[in-house]
A and B are shown apart, each in its own frame.
Chain A
Amino acid sequence: MESLEILTAAVADPFTYARKLKKDGGKKVVGYMCTYAPEEIIFAAGAHPLRLFGSNKNIILADGHLQAYCCSLVRGVLEDALSGDLNFLDGMIFPHTCDTVQRLSDIWRLNVPAGFHLDVVLPVKLNTASAREYLIDVLNLFRSNLEKALKVKITGDDLRKSIALYNEIRNSLKRVYELKSKNPQIIKGKDIYTLLRGAMIMERSSYLKLLQSAIKELEKSAIKTTNTKKKRLVLSGGLCSHPDIYSVIEDAGGDVVADDLCTGSRYFAGLIKTDGDPITAIAERYLQRVICSAKHKDNKSRAENLIQTAQENGADGVIFMLLKFCDPHAFDYPYLKEALDKAVIPSLLLEVEDQPQAQGQLQTRIEAFLETL
């Protein structure tokens, strides 16, 4: 698939891609780390939102700022920043998520020279009228702060165009997931991973074109491919930076048919309303979307959503991928597992880190889990 090749290249080396985009396209690049970054507003400002995923490098410089019990995602992103690999960034934004990212924001502000720095102190609860109001206020504040930082004006029209584009991207990604779930053979898990990553790395308009052409090809091959009876699995957790996990699962006789990851379905879940005030509409999507474990909606919604995802996709089991030292997800795991047990959905816990894994241990756990299904 030609579109996939282009995507693979960008995803393999996002920093080179972003530098080129900046040099050739004159785009300003704004970094972010999580799905609560309102990238629609960054795009509307004419800048390029680039998601950072951590580093495969050995952690050396970040060790001078963060202790060993900090998650590898945050340590990795800081390592990239301190080593100068991110010096092309025009700015970095930090939406409020977990305690660790809060402190990363402070450390970044004090130690990373490149670009502007904006905190987007979102509400932690998303289920009250005052939180809704505050969320809209904060997004408006972000809009005006970003205008100042980038020295641009973000008009209502800019926002509406951006929203339309993001809706199309999200709809298309949803379509990819539907195709995969219906017929897991048509595309490898690692290619889905690449398609998703591309959405957070590449220039969004050209990305959408690639995505749409990929979908056309998938739809064609869907007709020809027969479905084999492999075990159907759902991945759950924060972010997944392990394309290898998909191959391990596939080699062991399984397929990932859906996920509950912030680098997966949480990225594209929910569309933004196109009528009314655009900032309010962006806020509404966050209020309605399935939450990350660092946010509060009620006490059960994540479990309900996970079970629904598993059942709708006919899953045989769920694999939790918990980033070591990620507190919010580790706190949710016992209740999510209990809920799955009650719904008679088997699950497996994998503790992962961004830096290279002991591949053998991972493989044994996954294979053994599939053997039990």
Chain B
Amino acid sequence: MAEEKDPEKEKRKIKSVKKMKDIMTTYYIEAKMAEQTGKKVAWITSGGPVEPLIAMDVIPVYPENHGAMIGASKMGIDLCQKAEAMNYSSDLCSYARSDISCATVNGGPIGGLPKPDMLICCNNICGTVLKWYEVQARYFNVPLFILDTPFCHTQFTDEARKYVRKQIEEYILFLEDVCAKKMDHDRMKEVGKISVEGQRLWQAVLDTAQNKPAPLSAFDAFFHLALIVTLRGTKLAVDYYKELLAEMKQRIADGIGAVANEKYRLLWDNLPIWYRTKWLSEKFAAADACLVADTYTSAWCGALKYIDENNFLESMAEGYSRIYLNIGIDEMAREVIKMVDKYDVDGLVMHSNRSCKPYSFGQLDIQRIVRKERGLPSLMIEADMVDERFFSESQIATRIDAFMELVRERKGA
């Protein structure tokens, strides 16, 4: 018997979702067929400089995106437990744990990632990726390039700029060596321009949530983010986001919001809780709350201000060093406040994510700063992005209810 479709729900569905799924499927099929097509595969961190790979015709594969898929398909517990049997502590990052064990069993939602020919690790997001990529470099016995982006607590020093620029030259030499061919610098310039265009479009998509009601929520952004992460620097991403942007504009024109009766606008901080996005989004929607913005998906366009599209390679040193997670928590708090103002936010929802220490330590201070500057109520959810064993539904449901009471009260007054 065919299920009765709720027309109200159907109206709110984002139509581009299907196209996005198709693109990602094709992308993973191509990546998995790399061996047959003679293309090289690089595993790269989510904040890593992918553009030179695209320019060199290398297929970038993102273990973190894979981790998110593992989480979303609720395969995290099993893979995390496998890693624990391999002597990895259950306190370690669940992306890393599930990826490390997945590589040995070719499990997970897509039967494992294609084997890498090289590993590209940029530590602008955490020190965990360094250790994780060391593990994989030993396992696959392939060359590892580390782009070391010094932490910008209060500034990006001249010394750091010189160091990162020099490493980008080393990165290109590394790629030329592994691929046994020269970099085509004209193509590199082109890819740089396309990357910037994609990031701008992504920012424009996120910006549409300034509208009331917001045509998309952070939960939608978590999903549509995949392309700006994995296919940044390709026409495919640019074309897709153009379409998505058009759809969002149409939704605004038609008055369609992500949440049926948007009364409260919230900001999400930290990675999604992948295995519970649906539950959370319904929970908040039931309280007429829409998560209109988040610090996570905006990280893939937040460094645009440092990048010169006409001088991409030179400026990417700064762009990749000054991303959201590689800066001090006072600057992070300022970014959050900017978003609070820009999206007219009524409250802050922070995921205290035991897998991600650089994202989570400092949240309590950010919370305090935002409360002081803008008087906003905030909620802290203790969980993990992939490992469901650290999620307590009853506890979190109670906290959300209590938080929404606060938000309503403040807004009503």
B193 within 8 A of A: no
Residues in B31-88 with C-beta less than 8 Å from chain A: 86-88
Q: Given the known A-B contacts A70-B361, A134-B159, A337-B87, are A327 and B127 also in contact in the complex, defined by CB atoms under 8 Å?
A: yes
Q: Given the known A-B contacts A119-B153, A332-B131, are A67 and B92 also in contact in the complex, defined by CB atoms under 8 Å?
A: no
A137 within 8 A of B: yes
B315 within 8 A of A: no
B329 within 8 A of A: yes
Question: What are the residues of chain A within 8 A of B22 when measuring CB–CB?
Answer: none
Question: What are the residues of chain A within 8 A of B144 when measuring CB–CB?
Answer: 299
Report whether A134 and B163 are in contact in the complex, using a CB–CB cutoff of 8 Å.
yes
Residues in A104-141 with C-beta less than 8 Å from chain B: 104-107, 109-111, 119, 121, 123-125, 128, 130-131, 133-134, 137-138, 141
A333 within 8 A of B: yes
Report whether B88 and A99 are in contact in the complex, using a CB–CB cutoff of 8 Å.
no
A48 within 8 A of B: no
Question: What are the residues of chain A within 8 A of B365 when measuring CB–CB?
Answer: 65, 106-107, 110-111
Q: How far is the CA of A150 from the CA of B91 in the complex (A)?
A: 40
Question: What are the residues of chain A within 8 A of B127 when measuring CB–CB?
Answer: 98-99, 102, 124, 294, 327-328
- The closest CB in chain B to the CB of A330 belongs to B89
A107 interface neighbour in B89, B137, B329, Cβ under 8 Å: B329
Q: For the complex formed, measure the closest distance between the CB of B199 and the CB atoms of chain A, giving whole angstroms.
A: 25
A167 within 8 A of B: no
Report whether B163 and A106 are in contact in the complex, using a CB–CB cutoff of 8 Å.
no
Q: For the complex formed, measure the closest distance between the CB of B93 and the CB atoms of chain A, giving whole angstroms.
A: 7
Report whether B151 and A125 are in contact in the complex, using a CB–CB cutoff of 8 Å.
no
Q: How far is the CA of A128 from the CA of B169 in the complex (A)?
A: 13
Report whether B362 and A69 are in contact in the complex, using a CB–CB cutoff of 8 Å.
no
A276 within 8 A of B: no
Q: For the complex formed, measure the closest distance between the CB of A205 and the CB atoms of chain B, giving whole angstroms.
A: 32
Q: Given the known A-B contacts A66-B361, A70-B357, A332-B131, are A137 and B163 also in contact in the complex, defined by CB atoms under 8 Å?
A: yes
Report whether A296 and B134 are in contact in the complex, using a CB–CB cutoff of 8 Å.
yes
Report whether B364 and A106 are in contact in the complex, using a CB–CB cutoff of 8 Å.
no
B86 interface neighbour in A138, A294, A300, A334, Cβ under 8 Å: A334
Report whether B87 and A334 are in contact in the complex, using a CB–CB cutoff of 8 Å.
yes
Residues in A129-173 with C-beta less than 8 Å from chain B: 130-131, 133-134, 137-138, 141
Q: For the complex formed, measure the closest distance between the CB of B412 and the CB atoms of chain A, giving whole angstroms.
A: 29
Q: How far is the CA of A69 from the CA of B358 in the complex (A)?
A: 12
Question: What are the residues of chain A within 8 A of B358 when measuring CB–CB?
Answer: 99, 102-103
A103 interface neighbour in B132, B135, B362, Cβ under 8 Å: B362
Summed over the interface, the residue pairs from A and B with CB atoms below 8 Å come to a total of: 145
Question: What are the residues of chain B within 8 A of A8 when measuring CB–CB?
Answer: none
Report whether A328 and B131 are in contact in the complex, using a CB–CB cutoff of 8 Å.
yes
Q: Given the known A-B contacts A103-B357, A296-B134, are A125 and B91 also in contact in the complex, defined by CB atoms under 8 Å?
A: no
Q: How far is the CA of A327 from the CA of B154 in the complex (A)?
A: 25
Report whether B157 and A141 are in contact in the complex, using a CB–CB cutoff of 8 Å.
yes
Q: For the complex formed, measure the closest distance between the CB of A245 and the CB atoms of chain B, giving whole angstroms.
A: 20
- The closest CB in chain A to the CB of B384 belongs to A69
Q: How far is the CA of A307 from the CA of B326 in the complex (A)?
A: 35
- The closest CB in chain B to the CB of A127 belongs to B146
Q: How far is the CA of A133 from the CA of B161 in the complex (A)?
A: 12
- The closest CB in chain B to the CB of A325 belongs to B91
Interface mask (B153-179 → A, CB under 8 Å = 1, otherwise 0): 110010110110011001000000000
Q: Given the known A-B contacts A131-B163, A331-B132, A337-B87, are A110 and B151 also in contact in the complex, defined by CB atoms under 8 Å?
A: no
B208 within 8 A of A: no
Q: How far is the CA of A98 from the CA of B358 in the complex (A)?
A: 9
Question: What are the residues of chain B within 8 A of A324 when measuring CB–CB?
Answer: 91
Report whether A133 and B163 are in contact in the complex, using a CB–CB cutoff of 8 Å.
yes
Q: Given the known A-B contacts A103-B362, A107-B365, are A67 and B146 also in contact in the complex, defined by CB atoms under 8 Å?
A: no
Question: What are the residues of chain A within 8 A of B251 when measuring CB–CB?
Answer: none
Report whether A335 and B135 are in contact in the complex, using a CB–CB cutoff of 8 Å.
yes
A247 within 8 A of B: no
Q: How far is the CA of A38 from the CA of B134 in the complex (A)?
A: 26
Report whether B166 and A130 are in contact in the complex, using a CB–CB cutoff of 8 Å.
yes
A100 interface neighbour in B123, B130, B160, B361, Cβ under 8 Å: B361
Report whether B329 and A103 are in contact in the complex, using a CB–CB cutoff of 8 Å.
yes
B232 within 8 A of A: no
Q: How far is the CA of A66 from the CA of B91 in the complex (A)?
A: 16
Q: Which interface residue of A66, A104, A296 has the most chain B CB atoms within 10 A? A: A296
Report whether A106 and B88 are in contact in the complex, using a CB–CB cutoff of 8 Å.
no
Report whether A106 and B89 are in contact in the complex, using a CB–CB cutoff of 8 Å.
no
Q: For the complex formed, measure the closest distance between the CB of B11 and the CB atoms of chain A, giving whole angstroms.
A: 40
Report whether A124 and B361 are in contact in the complex, using a CB–CB cutoff of 8 Å.
no
Q: How far is the CA of A138 from the CA of B161 in the complex (A)?
A: 12
Report whether A125 and B153 are in contact in the complex, using a CB–CB cutoff of 8 Å.
no
Report whether B361 and A107 are in contact in the complex, using a CB–CB cutoff of 8 Å.
yes
With contacts A100-B357, A110-B365 known, what are 14 further pairs, Cβ within 8 A? A96-B150, A103-B361, A110-B330, A119-B153, A121-B150, A124-B123, A124-B127, A134-B159, A137-B163, A141-B159, A299-B134, A328-B131, A331-B135, A333-B88
* A-B contact list, 25 entries, CB within 8 Å: A67-B360, A67-B364, A69-B354, A69-B357, A103-B361, A103-B362, A105-B153, A106-B362, A107-B362, A121-B153, A121-B160, A124-B130, A128-B167, A128-B170, A133-B166, A296-B134, A299-B134, A299-B144, A328-B127, A331-B128, A333-B89, A334-B86, A334-B88, A334-B135, A337-B87
Chain B residues with a Cβ under 8 A of chain A: 86-89, 91-93, 96, 123, 126-128, 130-132, 134-135, 137-138, 144, 146, 148, 150-151, 153-154, 157, 159-160, 162-163, 166-167, 170, 328-330, 352, 354, 357-358, 360-365, 382
List 8 tightest A-B contacts by C-beta distance, closest first: A331-B131, A103-B361, A134-B163, A334-B87, A137-B159, A130-B166, A99-B358, A330-B89
